[in-house]
Amino acid sequence: MTTPDPRPRVAVVGSLHFDIMVGTPVLPRLGETVIGDAWWWKPGGKGGNQAMAAARHGAATVMIGALGEDGFGERLRERLAAAGVSLAAIRTVDAGSGMSVAIQEAAGDYAAIVVSGANRRIDPDQVAASADAIRTAAILVLQDEVGEAANAAAARIARTAGVPVLLNAAPARPLGTLAGLVDLLVVNAVEAEQLGAAPVSDLASAEAAAETLRRLAPAVVVTAGAAGVAAVSATERVALPAHPVTKPETHGAGDLFVGALAVRLAEGDPLATALRYANAAAALHVGTPEAARDTLGPAAVHALLAQG
């Protein structure tokens, strides 16, 4: 008899990218050539990043996505599997795997260009073929790097099964057919403004933006970078300052935050408790050299929270 997996189940529908990173002293201006320091690759795509974060923070995670039959896709499958993400719902399609080029300056900020490739092939039919993975999850995680039709199909399956839907509206776009299907909306300061909130510059304005965006979802989380994170729902209002970090490297922090948040919500934590965990997990991520980030998990987060 197979022993049931006791871990919370998280389903992610989203993008998978082969990220080529370029280190540079400063970001180039338009028309400017800058001599870089180094380049390296990492698994990416908001969907893939969030799925790996969820797996590393204790969830049984299934990724619903698409990859090409190429070297990029092969390497991404290897890294997802190594992180503990189920590959059963990843389809191989006749298109190049998604990729991006991100330029990261020494101070930690970055800029990126994304080529969607195989991610454009994720459609309602693929989502329907993976419906059982969504129905049996404790939470469904979506982002806006795949088509609206695929996201809406997944959200409808989740809604029928009583599975809560977390939408990370990045890059920001109108909810469209997702309207009424999202339980928790997560955005950063820029995305909040793009969706109709006033500019976010601190925790107070982040909380105000979350309140404004509750017309889009019953609960809203607005991340405000170094200022912290705020959330508003019908029963909770939370504003948490960011943990102090020396020389932060911010690339991927938002995806780590979403993945960690999804795990805690899947465990049944109240929104405020889940936010505290995700806020600490994000701080550890941005304050740890990239080569050591794969070792960060629940033990490290609880240790940071124990420090107050």
- Supply the residues annotated as catalytic: 255
Give me the residue label for tokens 């590393």.
56
Query: DSSP assignment, residue 5?
Result: P
Return the structure tokens found at 238.
Answer: 């939370």
Is there a contact between 90 and 130 (Cβ–Cβ < 8 Å)? no
Is there a contact between 12 and 64 (Cβ–Cβ < 8 Å)? yes
Cα angle 266-66-284, degrees, rounded to a multiple of 5:
45
Q: Which residues contact 34 (CB under 8 A, 6 or more apart)?
A: 24, 25, 26, 27, 28
Q: Which amino acid is at 244?
A: P
Is there a contact between 168 and 143 (Cβ–Cβ < 8 Å)? yes
Q: Which residues pair with 239 in a beta bridge?
A: 230
